[in-house]
Amino acid sequence: MRTVEAPVKRPLWTQLYLQVLVAIALGALIGHFAPATGEAMKPLGDAFIKLVKMIIAPVIFLTVVTGIAGMRDIGKVGGVAAKAFAYFITVSSFALVVGLIVANVVQPGSGMHIDPATLDAEAVKGYAAKSHDMTITGFLMDIIPETVAGAFVGGNILQVLFFSIPFGLALAMIGERGEPALTLLNSVGEAFFRLVAIFMRAAPIGALGAFAFTVGKYGIASIASLAALVATFYATSLLFVLVVLGAIAALNGFSILKLIRYLKEELLLVLGTSSSEAALPSLLEKMERAGAAKPVVGLVVPTGYSFNLDGTNIYMTLAALFIAQALGIELSLGEQLLLLGVAMLSSKGAAGVTGAGFITLAATLQVVPSVPVAGMALILGVDRFMSECRALTNFVGNAVATLVVSRWEGQLDRTRLASALNGEPQPVAAPPVETDED
């Protein structure tokens, strides 16, 4: 069983969240006052993200396999998956509706009067081409890896899950004969999570490079022309997190504000890199430390990265209606409902990485002919600035989902959750089975 260390009070300047925050501020200054230098710092951000993505597959594999193999009741695996997907579909679909409603009420694109003939279709050609591959059949087939090694080499989270879940079940089914393998995997898991902690020390450098590049290349001034869209999206996402996810959290016995404070290091890392995957290994560890059962963490967190994208869903309907409004296209209620239905399907396969939301939006617009895909060129310049908000909202949504599903399963340790969210010392080792004391 992997040990869970109690938080240690360290000097403020050694705190990772403060280092990342300072790095983001420095990156913004460098990108603004020395754009060429900021663009040249892109490899720092790319290198850090590659560093983290390198260990995501083995971390997920070890978490899922040891969690399932260590369960006393194997039949619960299906129940956890069913409850997780019910949550994902309900909450992420509601996020799409929220984006649709806000776009109709605020109408951030109205008054722009853009002539469709002036749109640069070439600017979004690459995204539109990628979106052609996002069919339901293609998505389902892609979940099955060509080989076992291929699941780890390709970096596809769902392929890793597809192999890890049945392997964990098989290891549990062979009983005592599987104990040596389980012990070995637990030990290897200890080493990988220690490796995660080592890699996270480089997070400020990665955030510095990524943010300097974003500001240097796109310029903060580029937001001004589309300020209404960016401001509306950020406000809507914040409202969704505090009100919708906040209500879900309250109904399940914890505070969304305390959860955000608990995950502040990871959230700043996501902000700096625009990728929620950069903080995936840390989220797995922190959710377990907060009292969520290991099998639930292993199933819900990785799956949520593809199926529980609240921020991406808000963005899709909001951006689609913004484009229509900017081009002076009136969408009927039926067309908006069609847009909503298509978005519900296409959003489920988007991965939590930079650019996925834009590609998914292209796939959605191609099925709704009233709004030209070329209209995406209008928001291409500020999409990068909105990707941070998408990633942050997705990240918080997955943290909430993990705790909620764990509670539904009766496997949420309320004592550990309270101590984690309040920043109090915790037991050195996590108990083998987490229970909800309700």
What's 215's domain CATH number? 1.10.3860.10
For residue 286, the model assigns a pLDDT of 92
Alpha carbon distance 16, 168 (integer Å) = 34
Alpha carbon distance 230, 222 (integer Å) = 11
Domain membership flag for residue 428: no
pTM (two decimals): 0.78
Domain membership flag for residue 427: no
Domain membership flag for residue 399: yes
Domain membership flag for residue 360: yes
Q: How far from 319 is each of 103, 357, 389, CA to CA, in Å? A: 8, 10, 13
For residue 328, the model assigns a pLDDT of 84
Adjacent-strand bridge partners of 429 = 3
pLDDT in tens, 146-205: 888 888 887 677 788 888 888 988 888 888 888 888 889 989 988 988 888 888 888 889
Backbone angles phi, psi at 292, to 5 degrees: -75, 140
Domain membership flag for residue 292: yes
pLDDT at 433 exceeding the cut of 70: no
Domain membership flag for residue 438: no
Of 354, 390, 380, 402, residue with least CA distance to 99: 390
Unique residue bearing structure tokens 């969690």 = 67
296 backbone φψ class: left, alpha, beta (φ>0; ψ -120 to 50): alpha
Domain membership flag for residue 113: yes
For residue 396, the model assigns a pLDDT of 95
For residue 224, the model assigns a pLDDT of 66
For residue 199, the model assigns a pLDDT of 85
Mean pLDDT of the 360-378 span: 75
User: What residue numbers bound the domain in which 368 lies?
Assistant: 12-421
pLDDT at 342 exceeding the cut of 50: yes
Give the pLDDT band of residue 121 (cuts 50, 70, 90).
low
Listed ranges 153-162, 293-302, 410-419; the one with the highest mean pLDDT: 410-419
Give helix 414-421 / helix 280-289 axis angle, nearest 10°. Answer: 120
pLDDT at 87 exceeding the cut of 60: yes
pLDDT at 436 exceeding the cut of 80: no
pLDDT at 9 exceeding the cut of 70: no
Alpha carbon distance 295, 20 (integer Å) = 31
Mean pLDDT of the 202-219 span: 84
Of 219, 243, 268, 207, residue with least CA distance to 44: 207
Backbone angles phi, psi at 371, to 5 degrees: -110, 115
Percent of the chain with pLDDT over 70: 81
Q: How many domains does the chain have?
A: 1
For residue 263, the model assigns a pLDDT of 93
Of 181, 141, 182, residue with least CA distance to 349: 141
Give the pLDDT band of residue 357 (cuts 50, 70, 90).
low
Domain membership flag for residue 393: yes
Mean pLDDT of the 325-334 span: 84
The average confidence (pLDDT) of the chain is 80
Mean pLDDT of the 281-292 span: 90
pLDDT at 337 exceeding the cut of 90: no
